[in-house]
Chains A and B, each alone.
Chain A
Amino acid sequence: MGISGESGKSQSDDLDEIIRSATRLDRDAFGQVYREFAPRIHRFVAYRTNNRVLADDLTNQIFMQALRAIGRYQHRSVPEFTAWIFRIARNAIADHWRRNREHVSLDPDVHLKDHVDDGADFRRIENADMLAEVLVHLTPEQAEVIAMRFSQGMSHAQIAAILDKKEPAVRALQFRALTTLRSLLTREPAE
Chain B
Amino acid sequence: MADSTPQEDLWHDDPIYHNALREAKFITFLWTCCFFYTVIYCYLYGYLTHESLPSSTGPAVGQVVGLLESFNRDPQSVSYPLGLGIPDWVFYGVVLPWGVCVVISVWYCLVMFVEDDLSDSAGETEESTA
**Does A associate with B in a complex?**
no
Task: Write the residues of chain A forming the contact surface with B, with a CB cutoff of 8 angstroms.
Answer: none
Binding site for A on B (CB under 8 A): none
